[in-house]
Chains A and B, each alone.
Chain A
Amino acid sequence: MSLKISALEYVQQVQNGNIYAEDFIAKTLEHINKVDEKLHAFLSVNEDAINQARIIDKKIKSGDKVGSCFGMPISIKDNMCIKDSKTTCGSKMLENFIAPYDATVISKLKQQDAIFIGKVNLDEFAMGLTTEFSAFGPSKNPWNTEFVPGGSSGGSAVSVSAFECSMSLGSDTGGSVRNPASFCSVVGYKPTYGLISRYGLISYANSIEQIGPLTRTVKDTAFMLNMISGLDPNDNTTIDNKNVDYLSGIDSGIEGKKIGIIKEMIAEGTDPAVLSATNDAIAKLEGLGAICEEISIDMVKYSVAAYYTITATEAGSNLARYDNLRYGYDFPVEGYEFNSYISKARKKFGPEVTRRMIIGGFVPSAGHAGKYFLKAMKVKSKLTKEIDEAFKKFDFLIAPTVPILPFKLGEKINDPVALFLVDINTVTANLTGKPAISIPFTISNGLPIGMQLFADSMHDKSLLQAAYALEQTVKLPEVPI
């Protein structure tokens, strides 16, 4: 029995009676035990997983109705609530926070008999793109452990890439699913804003972020979307997707489809290897019958600045609740007055969160909002207009997921501005609410390069078809783990 199978292959093999959930879970745990000391994808592992698998095996044996996950191990980014288990957000601030309820995605997956094998690492409160800002130490890239895995859903990407789970859920605020997916050579998906309920996802910048799957194949992503997408009364921003089946017709191809190549996303500063991979991808898409053409999206130049202004503003508000009064870590209130207590309690935030809190206090403040926050909102709406225009002409847009290759741990941690620019190709999908996917495309000097496709809002199904078509042209070496 091999762990190196896709989620859908797992389902098939369990249904055929070739493997048992218990064996697969046991083997997965054993594997985590072996490799995770080096990779540090996991912040906590589900102690009860084997028992849960046993129950599912029993259900299968007795012919009871079984959910479509059949006990497959799924890892969850540690910013989503699973009832009665720790949800730390990679922060000392929530080190002891035990969620009293399930996120909507969690309850949906529970109904499908998924097993949450563990909670995985992230940059503190999902702010970062390397996992180096996790209060519990960084994760390592399975392709080369001296390199960052990307972030902030680094733990998710590592766990999928290194076969520590079948699939993972991450969250994407400015590329936090797609960036580590690209760096670790897995599929990472940021759906249309509102497609997946955020109820139970700990907010960072709530107006633009989405939960997204990280999987080994595009088909697995479609499979996951089938289970977790759709209207949720607990999240007023969710959209009714009429229970679309994302798997059916995934092999429809892209013949005759028009694809725009975003000029600003392959501009100066793009790594030559990334540039040549992009050209290769374009050639392959044309080979599949697509029509590719360059397009300029002018506002992309300002997108990162707008992104950081908006996310800092929302983060400043979303993270205000962490005053340690109702939950948090052990720090008695006796002897403190409210304001002095909270300012001391909030010192537990790490440096990146603190940095963004400070920015978030400033950019929307009276007297500065016009110069910063409101201007950023203007960029957001102009960018959306440009992208909407582009989708009148094109079915999809293409750009490399990250303009550069994975870099070494510690290489950029002290240069926040350089780190910010790594986001240039991913934030557009968040600011405009459009769906985007990163698929493994090639390996350069042993380091992965991912390719990104965008579609118009609610065109998630056709985006997956395009990604699937491109995925079929790619043959990659196995991860050296």
Chain B
Amino acid sequence: MTKIGLEIHCQLTNLQSKLFCSCKANYREFKINENICPICMGLPGSLPRLNQEAVKKATLIAMALNCTTPNKIAFFRKNYFYPDLPKNFQITQLNIYGDTSIGGTGSIMVGDKKINITRIQLEEDPGRLIYEGSSSKNQITLVDYNRAGTPLVEIVTEPDFENPKHVREFLNILSDLLENLGVSDPSLEGAMRADANVSIEGGKKVEVKNIGSFHDLEKAVHFEITRQNSLHDRDIAIIQETRHWDDKRKITISSRSKEEELDYRYFLEGDIPWITIDPEIREKLKLEMPESISSKKERYVSKYNIPPQVADVLSSDKFYSELFDKSHTESNAKEIANIITTDLMGLVDTREKREESKITSTHLRDLADSIQSEKISRISAKNALHEILKTGKSVADVISELDLGTVSNESELSEIIKEVITSEPEAVEQAKSNPQTINYLVGKIMQKTKGKADPKLSLDLLKQQLDDS
């Protein structure tokens, strides 16, 4: 049986500062080596100053994954030389000297399968290496330390996955969960990375490192299973090793470095005293914990009668579910859910578009109310949405400026219908025997009014005129 276990690294991107200093946790907007200080550069004499907020956020993750949370946590040093590591050791956590990591064993349901969590630890991210030069002979390595010291949470799972699809389902749930908790923005480049342990029946465990995105993780796992199966088919032994994911070629390559033989000489980080996490703090965190995705979904379905598929899509996206929760009322909830999932999600489908969009909960509420009171048709509503996203103008202004208001003036509509009947004699003839053709004629009316015709009134008037003719 194929077994897959994951080690997921998630940056706490929503924090203000790094794990041990006041440099920005959001290093992405800085020029190279400008988001650094004596502490994250490990300058002689500097000491780590623990970011208490990071401890809280990591505890929140542990609780959301149903992990045990110890009363006291400790940090350890993982000693190894690497150019991206300013101190040549990483401050991290482990459980070999008792349960001192921020999260112990836990689990999460993926579909109807339970995935067990081994441990959750809080640690510092290293810097970033940039390679320049074409051949290996004249290659130079540059180091950008802006990322060094960024708070990172490592989530280690048991080898409970059986196939890449399974892995993907878990990752989708996990990244929605992390986003919903408000601890991380998984869409940021490098915010989520992973290592995978893969073994097939009768083979040794192979660790695949250096996977830079969840998208590639699924591919890497798939590649590794195929590779191991083909070895197995040819009776070649699968050895225990560490392999690296080659991002460009989309394959795994055996690491020539003897990483697995490294002795990290773990010992307690004396510069950070043991931290007591009082039960009161945990209780407080529990109260502050945002509503879980599954509970949101449940609420949307039972309270507002929103179809389960729509509720599913809406609840798993933090941005849209928050917009929904802020804008809806008892009476317009279904309409708003509909606007978000059928129109808005298509129009605003990237991070950049979300940041640029000017839409507010008020817009959504007004728009839904306008549809429900038949001031505006659904088709026009989509046009209005387009304009609101760009300009942020009020729904009333957009309707009047773009002349989107429903045409419900009977004589005006009658004139238009007359024109349609005159220009479509064939369809009119057919409509007498085939009711489907009536829809075609209504479409023509909509076309002429740019979607503004009151649909119900149009249909009534059309039927009347057809009967009269």
B30 at the interface (CB under 8 A from A): no
Taking CB atoms, residues of chain B closer than 8 Å to A313 are 265, 267
A293 to B81, alpha carbons, bound, how many Å?
51
A97 at the interface (CB under 8 A from B): yes
Taking CB atoms, residues of chain B closer than 8 Å to A200 are 45-46
Among the stretches B82-90, B149-157, B371-379, B392-400, the one at the interface with A is B82-90
B182 at the interface (CB under 8 A from A): no
Give the contact-size bracket for chain A.
35 or more
Please determine whether B43 and A236 come into contact, CB atoms closer than 8 angstroms: no
Q: Distance (Å) between the CB of A260 and the closest chain B CB?
A: 28
Please determine whether A198 and B47 come into contact, CB atoms closer than 8 angstroms: yes
Taking CB atoms, residues of chain A closer than 8 Å to B89 are 317, 320
Among the stretches A61-69, A321-329, A387-395, A397-405, the one at the interface with B is A321-329
**Of B46, B81, B143, B263, which is within 8 A of A342 by CB?**
B81
Please determine whether A236 and B271 come into contact, CB atoms closer than 8 angstroms: yes
Taking CB atoms, residues of chain A closer than 8 Å to B82 are 338
B268 at the interface (CB under 8 A from A): yes
User: Given that A236-B48, A236-B49 are known contacts, is A321 also in contact with B38, CB under 8 Å in the complex?
Assistant: no
A342 to B88, alpha carbons, bound, how many Å?
11
**Of B43, B50, B143, B265, which is within 8 A of A327 by CB?**
B43
CB-nearest residue of chain A relative to B50? A236
A181 at the interface (CB under 8 A from B): no
A364 to B267, alpha carbons, bound, how many Å?
8
Please determine whether A338 and B141 come into contact, CB atoms closer than 8 angstroms: yes
**Of A79, A203, A338, A361, which is within 8 A of B265 by CB?**
A361
Please determine whether B267 and A235 come into contact, CB atoms closer than 8 angstroms: no
A365 at the interface (CB under 8 A from B): yes
A316 to B89, alpha carbons, bound, how many Å?
10
Majority secondary structure of chain B interface residues (helix, strand, loop or mixed): loop
Taking CB atoms, residues of chain B closer than 8 Å to A224 are none
**Of B45, B49, B265, which is within 8 A of A365 by CB?**
B265
Q: Distance (Å) between the CB of B274 and the closest chain A CB?
A: 11
A410 at the interface (CB under 8 A from B): no
A201 at the interface (CB under 8 A from B): yes
Please determine whether B86 and A206 come into contact, CB atoms closer than 8 angstroms: no
Please determine whether B45 and A81 come into contact, CB atoms closer than 8 angstroms: yes
Taking CB atoms, residues of chain A closer than 8 Å to B79 are 316-317, 320
A314 at the interface (CB under 8 A from B): yes
CB-nearest residue of chain A relative to B82? A338
A72 to B266, alpha carbons, bound, how many Å?
44
Taking CB atoms, residues of chain B closer than 8 Å to A417 are none
Q: Distance (Å) between the CB of A94 and the closest chain B CB?
A: 7
Please determine whether A338 and B83 come into contact, CB atoms closer than 8 angstroms: yes
Taking CB atoms, residues of chain B closer than 8 Å to A201 are 45
Among the stretches A98-106, A110-118, A347-355, the one at the interface with B is A98-106
**Of B38, B49, B267, which is within 8 A of A101 by CB?**
B38
Please determine whether B271 and A202 come into contact, CB atoms closer than 8 angstroms: no
A285 to B270, alpha carbons, bound, how many Å?
37
Taking CB atoms, residues of chain A closer than 8 Å to B143 are 325
Give the one of B42, B83, B267 with max A CB within 10 A. B267
Please determine whether B44 and A234 come into contact, CB atoms closer than 8 angstroms: no
**Of A203, A208, A373, which is within 8 A of B45 by CB?**
A203
Contact with A along B1-19 (1 / 0, CB 8 A): 0000000000000000000
A163 at the interface (CB under 8 A from B): no
A233 to B47, alpha carbons, bound, how many Å?
10
Please determine whether B45 and A99 come into contact, CB atoms closer than 8 angstroms: yes
Please determine whether B263 and A365 come into contact, CB atoms closer than 8 angstroms: yes
CB-nearest residue of chain B relative to A203? B45
A-B contact count (CB 8 A): 101
**Of A80, A100, A207, A323, which is within 8 A of B88 by CB?**
A323
Please determine whether A236 and B47 come into contact, CB atoms closer than 8 angstroms: yes
Taking CB atoms, residues of chain A closer than 8 Å to B270 are 206-208, 237, 314
CB-nearest residue of chain B relative to A360? B265
Contact with A along B67-91 (1 / 0, CB 8 A): 0000000000101011100111100
**Of A99, A208, A233, A369, which is within 8 A of B44 by CB?**
A99
Taking CB atoms, residues of chain A closer than 8 Å to B48 are 236
Please determine whether A199 and B88 come into contact, CB atoms closer than 8 angstroms: no
CB-nearest residue of chain B relative to A239? B273
Please determine whether B42 and A321 come into contact, CB atoms closer than 8 angstroms: yes
Contact with B along A227-254 (1 / 0, CB 8 A): 0000001111100000000000000000
CB-nearest residue of chain B relative to A94? B44
Contact with B along A275-304 (1 / 0, CB 8 A): 000000000000000000000000000000
Contact with B along A350-380 (1 / 0, CB 8 A): 0000000000010011100100010000000
**Of B41, B45, B50, which is within 8 A of A199 by CB?**
B45
Please determine whether A80 and B45 come into contact, CB atoms closer than 8 angstroms: yes
Please determine whether B265 and A316 come into contact, CB atoms closer than 8 angstroms: yes
B457 at the interface (CB under 8 A from A): no
Taking CB atoms, residues of chain B closer than 8 Å to A339 are 81
B277 at the interface (CB under 8 A from A): no
Taking CB atoms, residues of chain A closer than 8 Å to B50 are 236
A158 at the interface (CB under 8 A from B): no
**Of A79, A236, A320, which is within 8 A of B81 by CB?**
A320
Taking CB atoms, residues of chain B closer than 8 Å to A94 are 44
A80 to B77, alpha carbons, bound, how many Å?
23
Please determine whether A97 and B81 come into contact, CB atoms closer than 8 angstroms: no
Q: Which of A46-96 contact B (CB under 8 A)?
A: 79-81, 87, 89, 94
Please determine whether B44 and A81 come into contact, CB atoms closer than 8 angstroms: yes
Q: Distance (Å) between the CB of B261 and the closest chain A CB?
A: 10
Contact with A along B243-285 (1 / 0, CB 8 A): 0000000000000000000010111101111000000000000
A96 to B42, alpha carbons, bound, how many Å?
17
A87 to B48, alpha carbons, bound, how many Å?
20
Give the one of A236, A342, A364, A365 with max B CB within 10 A. A236
Q: Distance (Å) between the CB of B265 and the closest chain A CB?
A: 5
A103 to B44, alpha carbons, bound, how many Å?
10
Please determine whether B45 and A202 come into contact, CB atoms closer than 8 angstroms: yes
A198 to B272, alpha carbons, bound, how many Å?
12
CB-nearest residue of chain A relative to B36? A326
A365 to B43, alpha carbons, bound, how many Å?
25
Please determine whether B267 and A199 come into contact, CB atoms closer than 8 angstroms: no
CB-nearest residue of chain B relative to A237? B273
Please determine whether A97 and B47 come into contact, CB atoms closer than 8 angstroms: no
User: Given that A99-B45, A237-B273, A366-B263 are known contacts, is A325 also in contact with B77, CB under 8 Å in the complex?
Assistant: no
A100 to B187, alpha carbons, bound, how many Å?
36
Q: Distance (Å) between the CB of A217 and the closest chain B CB?
A: 29
A343 to B267, alpha carbons, bound, how many Å?
23
Q: Distance (Å) between the CB of A430 and the closest chain B CB?
A: 12
Q: Distance (Å) between the CB of A373 and the closest chain B CB?
A: 7
User: Given that A237-B270, A321-B88, A339-B81 are known contacts, is A364 also in contact with B44, CB under 8 Å in the complex?
Assistant: no
Taking CB atoms, residues of chain B closer than 8 Å to A234 are 47, 49
**Of A89, A202, A317, which is within 8 A of B77 by CB?**
A317
A373 to B266, alpha carbons, bound, how many Å?
11
Taking CB atoms, residues of chain B closer than 8 Å to A320 are 79, 81, 87-89
Q: Distance (Å) between the CB of A61 and the closest chain B CB?
A: 36
Give the one of A235, A316, A320, A325 with max B CB within 10 A. A320
**Of A236, A365, A369, which is within 8 A of B273 by CB?**
A236
A79 to B270, alpha carbons, bound, how many Å?
19
CB-based closest 8 A-B pairs: A207-B270, A320-B88, A200-B45, A202-B44, A364-B265, A81-B45, A202-B45, A321-B87
List A residues at the B interface (Cβ < 8 Å).
Answer: 79-81, 87, 89, 94, 97, 99-101, 103, 198-203, 206-208, 233-237, 313-314, 316-317, 320-321, 323, 325-327, 338-339, 342, 361, 364-366, 369, 373
Known: A199-B47, A314-B267, A366-B263. 8 other contacts (CB 8 A): A200-B46, A203-B271, A317-B79, A326-B43, A327-B44, A338-B82, A339-B81, A364-B265
26 CB-based A-B contacts, threshold 8 Å: A81-B44, A87-B44, A87-B45, A97-B44, A99-B43, A100-B43, A101-B43, A203-B45, A207-B268, A207-B270, A233-B49, A236-B48, A236-B273, A237-B271, A317-B77, A317-B267, A320-B79, A320-B88, A320-B89, A321-B42, A321-B86, A321-B87, A326-B42, A327-B44, A338-B81, A369-B265
